[in-house]
Structure 1
Amino acid sequence: MIKIAVVDDEERIRLGLAKLIEQCGEDYKVVGCFASGPELLERLNDLQADLIMTDIKMPQMNGLQLIEKVQQRKPKIKFAIVSGFNDFAFARQAIRQGVEDYLLKPVDPSELAELLQRVKNNIEIERYRKEVATEEHIRLLLRNDPDHLPEHMIQGANRDLGQTLLLRDHFAVLLVRAEPDLPADRIEHCMSYWNREYRLVAWEPRHTVIVAAIREGDHADTARELAYTLLQQLPHSSAVRIGVSGIHQGPLKLRDAYVQAELCMQSSWYEPGPKAMADAASAGKRDDSYNPLRLLEKEFRPALHALDFAKAEVAVEEWLGELSKHRPAWQALTEGVSYLFGLIRDEWNERQSHPSGQPDELTVPAPTTFAEWPAYKAALSASAKEQLESLKNAKHENRVVETVKSYIQKNYWKEMELQRLADVVYLTPSYLSKLFKTETGETITDYIISVRIERAKELLLKNPSLKTYEVGEQVGYPDPAYFNKVFKKLTGWTPKEFRERVRL
């Protein structure tokens, strides 16, 4: 709505103009009619007007003088001249002073309507630009430490925001997290009882920031009470967490307030149930000196290194219980979780001859993807158990491969059937074949051949009296032609050539 004040020394004219204005529609409201410039100036501080329509020639103070004085005190008010004189000099001076239009008496209703619509459009554009600028400045100071911003940006944001009712004095920041996401207008609908200035800022997914003015007469728990009432109003179908900052003063404290609210929201996230909140006073009781890595180093890592999987699982559960008690911030929590799974990966890589067999692309659960700590804790526990079980199985599979290798090395000259090898380790032939290839990078057949040929090379060099076909028989190749073919394929020489070249 555009609020308009009318100034004219003739009562009939000013009342008639006021009536014409109100006939232009409900978007326009006359907030005052004044008989002179001094009369309006007396009421200017309390007058909420967007547009002043004034006569030019009036006793005591003419219209141009009135415009000049109002502009000195409230430069954002717009003006229109209404005069019975078609005086170009007056019109030119009015234009220089930024007057929107110059209407002649008697006022033509269509010209008046056109003027008001134009003023309305201009005001709406200015308000929109101001709203955008205000929100951008709020976002800027919420996201950034002022010490890390260019000076001109700090000064501009501080100056503009300091003029708003929202940040002129004290304020608090509330951070609302909802799962599933709640649109800002849905949250704002639940704030209809707030009798104060506030600003909603759509933040990261599922997060909304609320900056609320704290007025004279409020108390230290006002922000907490606002948050608690909002929490009750929000739909029960959403899991909601609210963090509430302490009370701050001045736009440059927005970042500090947001960081407080974020830590409080993260603290409330540890609470079970669909809704929870925490303020700076309650979250401040958290032990910030707690290190999530301490118990992992003390209990979990030694158990893992010793491959004591039962003890390692117990250590994980104790660690999760410790996290529930200390409620570390998400960054510290994420570092602890990454360290936990990093230890498992490192142990796997150390134990395995081919680490690529490990599912090392596992995505570590992130707190931001869970509505509450109990669900995240359950996911962590399940994931840790799964990886420990995989490591345990890998340890067993590694022993299987070593057993098969040892059997082959001791019995390489014998006929090697896959079924016989599988029986040694109580596996099916197909599973053993796949496992051996995964763990060693070569097939069982290739491994048998490599062992036989290595032994044949030893016999060729150490026992020169042995015929090459006798060497072949001793390593499992009774067919001399086949022995020569396999030997040459692996070494590049026939057995005879190998013996002669090495001797030289």
Structure 2
Amino acid sequence: MKVMIVDDEEMIRLGLEKIMSKLHPNLSVVGSYSNGAVAWDNFAKLYSDGLDLVVTDIKMPFMDGIKLIEKIREVASDVQIIVLSGFEEFEYARAALRFGVKDYLLKPVDKIQLQERLVEIESLRQKALANKPEESAAPIEDREHHAVEQVKHELEQSYDQPFELEKLAQSVGMNGSYLSRLFRIQTNMTMTDYVIQLRIEKAKELLIGNPALRNYEISQLVGYHDPVYFNKLFKKTVGVTPKDYREGKRGTPGS
């Protein structure tokens, strides 16, 4: 079982990791973070690696536990969540239940209660794996890889159109911010940079293969309606202006 722990107190995080590892020998803490914002920044990668459980505090700086849970539930319904809270936060913690939180535990954490929750979660995890048909048991990584490949294909078909993140995200059934992080993890570039790369490569093809086309026409054909901006972007990316590239000159990108 792969677990993420989120709490702004380091001693609590270390203590939980130690306790949970003893209670459940097959448990592995794959992420430990001091607030929801940092945890969310790392969630996409951990989720793609098969994250099973998030144990999170309620009150934390930058992003509290409720907001973190809300964001997780936008993209992942299969990750189990346990909320930690102080006695005075009891009613606040109950609000997390509407996001499908498995349970909440009062601090200091009772080891017996925690062990019961871990056993139950592991049982549910094993049951889900056993009930999943073999032909549809593609790992999360495969589904996410397919989503990124689909987005790349759609961008290749519509590189000359305005870039619409939410429309792309809907086409693969994901949240826009999650898809952006996932795309960057898998391609080492943002979707915006990927579109620019597509447009510039197409512009290079048109410059060489269509000598009758004027530079401003090529600019429009690849999605840039400001030829001055297109020229600057082309030179920054390729190293020479479109005119020089057409004439056979080559430069150094970024020069």
Residue in structure 1 matched with residue 166 of structure 2 by the alignment: none
Structure 1 residues 26 and 86 mapped into 2: Cα distance closer, same or farther (>3 Å)?
A: same
Equivalents in 1 of 2:104, 2:28: separation in Å? Answer: 20
Residue in structure 2 matched with residue 107 of structure 1 by the alignment: 109
Q: Does 1:51 align with 2:53?
A: yes
The counterpart of 1:122, out of the listed 124, 130, 136, is 124
Residue in structure 2 matched with residue 236 of structure 1 by the alignment: none
Equivalents in 1 of 2:24, 2:138: separation in Å? Answer: 33
Q: Residues 82 and 102 of structure 1 are in contact (CA less than 8 Å); yes or no, is this contact kept in structure 2?
A: yes
Residue in structure 2 matched with residue 96 of structure 1 by the alignment: 98
Structure 1 residues 25 and 166 mapped into 2: Cα distance closer, same or farther (>3 Å)?
A: same
What are structure 1's unaligned runs of at least 5 residues? 138-159, 170-504
Equivalents in 2 of 1:99, 1:77: separation in Å? Answer: 9
The counterpart of 1:69, out of the listed 65, 68, 71, is 71
- State which structure, 1 or 2, has the greater radius of gyration over its C-alpha atoms: 1
Equivalents in 2 of 1:5, 1:39: separation in Å? Answer: 12
Instruction: Please report how far the alpha carbon of residue 85 of structure 1 lies from its aligned counterpart in structure 2 after TM superposition.
Output: 2.8
Residue in structure 2 matched with residue 445 of structure 1 by the alignment: none
Q: How far does the alpha carbon of each residue in 1:242-267 deviate from its partner, in whole angstroms, 9 at most, with x for none?
A: xxxxxxxxxxxxxxxxxxxxxxxxxx
Aligned letter for 1:126?
Answer: A
Instruction: Please report how far the alpha carbon of residue 86 of structure 1 lies from its aligned counterpart in structure 2 after TM superposition.
Output: 4.6
Q: Does 1:6 align with 2:5?
A: yes
Q: How far does the alpha carbon of each residue in 1:67-116 deviate from its partner, in whole angstroms, 9 at most, with x for none?
A: 01112233321100011235442233121111111101111111111110
Aligned partner of residue 113 in structure 1, secondary structure = helix
Aligned letter for 1:36?
Answer: N
Identity, % of aligned pairs? Answer: 38
What are structure 2's unaligned runs of at least 5 residues? 147-255
CA RMSD of aligned residues (A): 2.5
Q: Residues 55 and 81 of structure 1 are in contact (CA less than 8 Å); yes or no, is this contact kept in structure 2?
A: yes
Higher RCO (CA-CA < 8 Å; seq separation 6+): 2
Runs of 4+ in 1 over 3 A off after TM superposition: 160-164, 166-169
Structure 1 residues 62 and 121 mapped into 2: Cα distance closer, same or farther (>3 Å)?
A: same
Q: Residues 161 and 168 of structure 1 are in contact (CA less than 8 Å); yes or no, is this contact kept in structure 2?
A: no
Structure 1 residues 45 and 168 mapped into 2: Cα distance closer, same or farther (>3 Å)?
A: closer
Residue in structure 1 matched with residue 208 of structure 2 by the alignment: none
Residue in structure 1 matched with residue 181 of structure 2 by the alignment: none
Q: Residues 162 and 168 of structure 1 are in contact (CA less than 8 Å); yes or no, is this contact kept in structure 2?
A: no
Residue in structure 2 matched with residue 165 of structure 1 by the alignment: 142
Equivalents in 2 of 1:7, 1:104: separation in Å? Answer: 15
Equivalents in 2 of 1:115, 1:38: separation in Å? Answer: 25
Aligned letter for 2:37?
Answer: P
Equivalents in 1 of 2:140, 2:93: separation in Å? Answer: 33
Q: Does 1:23 align with 2:22?
A: yes
Structure 1 residues 11 and 124 mapped into 2: Cα distance closer, same or farther (>3 Å)?
A: same
Instruction: Please report how far the alpha carbon of residue 10 of structure 1 lies from its aligned counterpart in structure 2 after TM superposition.
Output: 0.6
The counterpart of 2:82, out of the listed 70, 80, 83, is 80
Q: Residues 58 and 93 of structure 2 are in contact (CA less than 8 Å); yes or no, is this contact kept in structure 1?
A: no
Equivalents in 1 of 2:143, 2:11: separation in Å? Answer: 41
Aligned partner of residue 31 in structure 2, secondary structure = strand
Aligned letter for 2:74?
Answer: Q
Structure 1 residues 162 and 103 mapped into 2: Cα distance closer, same or farther (>3 Å)?
A: closer
Aligned letter for 2:142?
Answer: L
Equivalents in 1 of 2:124, 2:64: separation in Å? Answer: 26
Equivalents in 2 of 1:81, 1:162: separation in Å? Answer: 27
Equivalents in 2 of 1:35, 1:11: separation in Å? Answer: 7
Aligned partner of residue 118 in structure 1, secondary structure = helix
TM-score (norm 2): 0.51
Q: How far does the alpha carbon of each residue in 1:324-381 deviate from its partner, in whole angstroms, 9 at most, with x for none?
A: xxxxxxxxxxxxxxxxxxxxxxxxxxxxxxxxxxxxxxxxxxxxxxxxxxxxxxxxxx
Aligned partner of residue 165 in structure 1, secondary structure = helix
Q: Residues 81 and 99 of structure 1 are in contact (CA less than 8 Å); yes or no, is this contact kept in structure 2?
A: yes
Residue in structure 1 matched with residue 33 of structure 2 by the alignment: 34
Structure 1 residues 42 and 168 mapped into 2: Cα distance closer, same or farther (>3 Å)?
A: closer
Equivalents in 2 of 1:167, 1:64: separation in Å? Answer: 25
Q: How far does the alpha carbon of each residue in 1:437-457 deviate from its partner, in whole angstroms, 9 at most, with x for none?
A: xxxxxxxxxxxxxxxxxxxxx
After TM superposition, the structure 1 = structure 2 runs for residues 79-478 of structure 1, keeping only pairs within 5 Å, are 79-130=81-132, 132=133, 134-135=134-135, 165=142
Aligned letter for 1:3?
Answer: K
Q: Residues 4 and 32 of structure 1 are in contact (CA less than 8 Å); yes or no, is this contact kept in structure 2?
A: yes
Aligned letter for 1:57?
Answer: K
Equivalents in 1 of 2:98, 2:9: separation in Å? Answer: 26
Q: Residues 86 and 104 of structure 1 are in contact (CA less than 8 Å); yes or no, is this contact kept in structure 2?
A: no
Equivalents in 2 of 1:77, 1:162: separation in Å? Answer: 14
Equivalents in 2 of 1:79, 1:115: separation in Å? Answer: 10
Equivalents in 2 of 1:62, 1:167: separation in Å? Answer: 27
Structure 1 residues 60 and 5 mapped into 2: Cα distance closer, same or farther (>3 Å)?
A: same
Residue in structure 2 matched with residue 353 of structure 1 by the alignment: none
Equivalents in 2 of 1:123, 1:23: separation in Å? Answer: 19
Equivalents in 2 of 1:44, 1:85: separation in Å? Answer: 28
Aligned partner of residue 122 in structure 1, secondary structure = helix
